[in-house]
């Protein structure tokens, strides 16, 4: 850990935990977790090991917030009392260390939480933190959760820390046992995946570098150029990522590009393209021959696409800053649409998502998705292919959008993904679906649609 500092009153506190608390508060104020962490450490000089610990604390505390709040109430003298946001988060951070980490000694979790309370609050609140956390150490079995047989939804929601509506959806879709396994997987520390950039490095070169530096890895089951890293952080970032030999991307995010199957020399448009993961993968598969039009309404995000393309040695991506509803290009051989979605496939990586998305958001997104797929279809040549993809597992944003599109457009037909992937990945309608409890991929969906030559 970093060396403790003293505040104006002379009280010691751990700057890493203080920064973690600051990041958690930023998230509560509406920032995304990754951005909140960047803001919290911007003015501080932390070692890589400190940053990894901070990330664990922030992501874990935010993910498990509902579980932690449930436990904390059992140790308050007045459980109904409303705690200040700062005090609540100090207790959540402390309880997370007690309950969910195995490398933080209990005494350290208590003392450092008390120090944070002294630094950020009042002495009386520091005494409360001390009393509550020591009570948790003395009487760990005092906490009672809802009975999983009497109220399975409430049990899953509180114990595994998810909003009620998402748990109810999963139960109706998957049943109890698979839902619980799905929720458990989302709560595990996410793994990092590198995509080998064949334009700058051969697979043997990358794997030799990893092996020489004792980095454990495994190859993607469906896309062999994807390598799953079996350790935390971004190992060999300078040697592999900054040089463009690899790109950080989940294997599930590569599946839509493989399904699109763009050919060298073809014309492709990637709508809502930023930050460029799918565009750059398509360019690599096209061997840098042809043209990929990368459309995004954000100039700043398009700049990231250009920077990523430059680092990866890609020369065929043409950025277009434009709302896709106003885009006039085409027609194209291939169209890739990855519309805004609820993101429920990435809840393992985006800790704040489970508390920031609502059922109303999904209703609103469905309207946007329907308009976008209609617009995307008009950009396609007869005989061309449209791939619709999302990073959510919500059926209404996936199957329903595609099926309703087909009802409106009889000049399109589904082409089964079974010609590209193992049958275990493809459902009876020919759609690709992935889940965190299946091969440890992010949750995702993609469908391949062809515009008929003679409707």
Half-sphere exposure of 82 (CA within 13 A, CB side): 1
The catalytic residue among 170, 341, 391, 446 is 391
Peptide bond into 331 cis (omega under 30): yes
Residue 234's CATH number: 3.30.70.1170
**Domain match, 181 and 196 both:** no
Q: Is 429 inside a domain boundary? A: yes
Residue 50's CATH number: 1.10.940.10
Look up residue 371 and give its two tokens. Answer: 């308009």
- pLDDT, residue 36, reads 96
**Domain match, 373 and 292 both:** yes
In angstroms, the CA 252 to CA 274 distance is: 17
Q: Is 147 inside a domain boundary? A: no
Closest C-alpha to 182, from 444, 451, 438: 438
**pLDDT (tens place) for every residue of the chain, 455 residues total:** 444 555 445 568 899 999 999 999 999 999 999 999 999 999 888 998 999 999 999 999 999 999 999 999 999 988 878 889 999 999 999 999 999 999 999 999 999 999 999 998 889 999 999 999 999 999 999 999 999 999 999 999 999 999 999 999 999 999 999 999 999 999 998 889 999 999 999 999 999 999 999 999 999 999 999 999 998 889 999 999 999 999 999 999 999 999 999 999 999 999 999 999 999 999 999 999 999 999 999 999 999 999 999 999 999 999 999 998 899 888 999 999 999 999 999 999 999 999 999 999 999 999 999 999 999 999 999 999 999 999 999 999 999 999 999 999 999 999 999 999 988 899 999 999 999 988 889 999 999 999 998 76
- pLDDT, residue 1, reads 42
In angstroms, the CA 350 to CA 36 distance is: 12
Residue 341 annotated among the catalytic residues of the structure = no
Residue 371's CATH number: 3.40.50.150
> Containing domain of residue 11, as a range?
5-142
């600051």: which residue's tokens?
22
In angstroms, the CA 353 to CA 108 distance is: 30
Q: Is 102 inside a domain boundary? A: yes
SS3 at position 450: strand
Consecutive H or E run containing 42: none
For residues 252 and 344, is the Cβ–Cβ distance under 8 A?
no
Q: Cβ atoms within 10 A of the Cβ of 40, count?
A: 24
**Domain match, 394 and 344 both:** yes
Consecutive H or E run containing 218: strand 217-219
Q: Is 367 inside a domain boundary? A: yes
SS3 at position 293: strand
Query: Strands 192-196 and 226-229: what pairing?
Result: antiparallel
Q: Is 274 inside a domain boundary? A: yes
Q: Is 334 inside a domain boundary? A: yes
In angstroms, the CA 96 to CA 58 distance is: 10
Contacts of 363 (CB under 8 A, 6+ apart): none
**Domain match, 296 and 394 both:** yes
- pLDDT, residue 8, reads 46
**Domain match, 303 and 375 both:** yes
Consecutive H or E run containing 434: strand 432-434
Closest C-alpha to 25, from 13, 40, 5: 40
Instruction: Write down which residue in 248, 277, 295 finishes a domain.
Output: 248
**Domain match, 256 and 111 both:** no
Phi–psi pair at 434, nearest 5 degrees:
-125, 155
**Domain match, 347 and 294 both:** yes
Q: Cβ atoms within 10 A of the Cβ of 107, count?
A: 10
**Domain match, 338 and 416 both:** yes
Q: Is 96 inside a domain boundary? A: yes
The total number of structural domains in the chain stands at 4
Closest C-alpha to 70, from 145, 180, 137: 145
Phi–psi pair at 287, nearest 5 degrees:
55, 35
Q: Is 318 inside a domain boundary? A: yes
Query: Strands 12-13 and 5-6: what pairing?
Result: antiparallel
**Domain match, 289 and 406 both:** yes
**Domain match, 215 and 257 both:** no
Q: Give just the sign of the alpha carbon dihedral 299, 301, 304, 306.
A: negative
In angstroms, the CA 46 to CA 54 distance is: 10
Consecutive H or E run containing 370: helix 359-377
**Domain match, 353 and 439 both:** yes
**Domain match, 19 and 122 both:** yes
CB contact burial 66-77 (16+ within 10 A = b; e otherwise): bbbbbbbeebee
Look up residue 265 and give its two tokens. Answer: 């020399």
């Amino acid at each position: 850990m970093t060396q403790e500092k003293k505040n104006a009153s002379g009280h010691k506190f751990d700057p890493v935990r203080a920064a973690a608390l600051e990041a958690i508060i930023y998230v509560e104020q509406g920032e995304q977790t990754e951005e909140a962490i960047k803001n919290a450490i911007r003015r501080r000089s932390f070692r890589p090991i400190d940053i990894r610990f901070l990330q664990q604390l922030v992501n874990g505390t935010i993910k498990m917030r509902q579980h932690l709040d449930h436990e904390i109430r059992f140790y308050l003298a007045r459980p109904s009392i409303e705690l200040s946001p700062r005090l609540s988060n100090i207790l959540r951070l402390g309880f997370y260390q007690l309950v969910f980490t195995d490398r933080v000694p209990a005494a350290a979790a208590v003392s450092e939480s008390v120090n944070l309370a002294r630094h950020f609050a009042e002495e009386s609140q520091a005494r409360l933190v001390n009393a509550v956390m020591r009570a948790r150490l003395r009487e760990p079995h005092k906490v009672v959760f809802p009975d999983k047989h009497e109220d399975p939804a409430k049990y899953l929601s509180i114990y595994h820390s998810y909003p009620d509506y998402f748990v109810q959806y999963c139960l109706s879709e998957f049943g109890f046992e698979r839902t619980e396994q799905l929720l458990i997987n989302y709560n595990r520390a996410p793994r990092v995946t590198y995509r080998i950039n064949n334009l700058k490095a051969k697979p043997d070169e990358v794997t030799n570098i990893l092996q020489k530096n004792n980095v454990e890895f495994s190859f993607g089951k469906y896309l062999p150029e994807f390598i799953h890293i079996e350790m935390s952080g971004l190992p060999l970032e300078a040697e592999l990522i900054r040089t463009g030999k690899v790109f950080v991307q989940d294997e599930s995010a590569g599946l839509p590009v493989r399904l699109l199957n763009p050919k060298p020399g073809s014309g492709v448009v990637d709508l809502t393209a930023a930050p460029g993961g799918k565009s750059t993968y398509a360019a690599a598969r096209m061997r840098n021959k042809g043209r990929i039009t990368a459309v995004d309404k954000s100039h700043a995000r398009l700049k990231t696409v250009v920077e990523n393309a430059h680092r990866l040695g890609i020369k065929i991506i043409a950025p277009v800053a434009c709302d896709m509803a106003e885009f006039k290009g085409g027609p194209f051989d291939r169209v890739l649409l990855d519309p805004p979605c609820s993101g429920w496939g990435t809840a393992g990586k985006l800790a704040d998502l489970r508390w920031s998305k609502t059922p109303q958001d999904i209703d609103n997104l469905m309207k946007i998705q329907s308009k976008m797929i209609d617009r995307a279809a008009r950009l396609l040549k007869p005989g061309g292919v449209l791939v619709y993809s999302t990073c959510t597992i919500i059926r209404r944003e996936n199957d329903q959008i595609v099926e309703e599109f087909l009802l409106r457009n009889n000049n399109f037909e589904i082409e089964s993904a079974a010609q590209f992937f193992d049958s275990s990945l493809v459902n009876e309608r020919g759609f690709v679906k992935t889940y965190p409890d299946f091969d440890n991929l992010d949750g995702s969906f993609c469908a391949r649609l062809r515009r008929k030559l003679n409707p």
